[in-house]
Amino acid sequence: MRPFDAQVQRVTEYVEFMRAQGRPTREFTVPRALDDLRASLPIRVGAGANPKIILRSETHVELGSPEAGSCAMVLWTDRPSMIRDGAITLIGPDVAEAAGSSLPFGQIVLVGGAELGPDEHQSIGHAQYVADQIEGYMVRSSSRSIWSRVSTQAAQKGFSFDTLGRSLMVVFKSSLPKVQAMEVVFVTSSKDDVLRLNDIAQVASDIGAEIVKEHWKARGFDLECDLDCRSCHDKDVCDDVRKILAGRLKKKRTADAQRAS
């Protein structure tokens, strides 16, 4: 299925357009295999890699604040050949060049996998919100955009957009085994350049919303339903199951405590 192929193409055209406009553009090519990617990183990536939040005083650079501008999207295709696996493109200044500043931030993640389909859509979309998985990098909990911070400590270790791109590849490829190819584009040149991506993002978002609706429908849910325990015919059964579970847990705890003593 290829709902986003046209948008992937538009991203390619956008990058070419930026290059033609004279924006400083850098390309990085990174290892494709997961283990090689991990080994190439100067920071830890994985669950709990960034256990603490990054305070304002610990911030090297802020990315994608509402004032500075932000646009993020994840586009997937079942044609991995459309994606330049391992390619990271940066349009605009890098982390080291932006100490203390607040940069506009565009992040486009392109993923390809022969078995990718609508069932993976939500997981793919959610993967970009990395929470605590990248050391020295925190995506703020803002529902509409990627608004993030790079810590001073991480910057001192050499954290760059190359690092971020690789880290995202590790996150995606390890949590989504069906992803065979991945490419990332970052834009930090100007707010206008970032907001120019909104056209593509809006189309992608509308397509995504339809996919999500169909997904829930296929699972037997409607998006506006009001399932209410009190009207559910199985409520009594549900309550009984809960009591049984509680009873079993209590027995287990008692048994564990006795064994321990």
* Residues at the contact surface with other proteins, assessed by CB under 8 A: 51-53, 55-57, 66-67, 122, 126, 129, 131-132, 138-144, 209, 212-213, 216-217, 219, 221-233, 242-243, 245-246, 249-250
Strand partners, 62: 102, 149
What is the four-CA torsion angle of 71, 76, 80, 86, rounded to 10 degrees?
A: 30
Residue with Cβ nearer other proteins (35 or 226): 226
The least distance separating other proteins from the CB of residue 203, rounded to whole angstroms, comes to 14
Residue with Cβ nearer other proteins (33 or 249): 249
The least distance separating other proteins from the CB of residue 211, rounded to whole angstroms, comes to 11
The least distance separating other proteins from the CB of residue 105, rounded to whole angstroms, comes to 15
Distance CA 32, CA 168 (A): 12
The least distance separating other proteins from the CB of residue 110, rounded to whole angstroms, comes to 21
Residue with Cβ nearer other proteins (106 or 208): 208
The least distance separating other proteins from the CB of residue 217, rounded to whole angstroms, comes to 5
Residue with Cβ nearer other proteins (34 or 131): 131
Residue with Cβ nearer other proteins (81 or 242): 242
The least distance separating other proteins from the CB of residue 195, rounded to whole angstroms, comes to 12
Residue with Cβ nearer other proteins (2 or 252): 252
Distance CA 217, CA 221 (A): 5
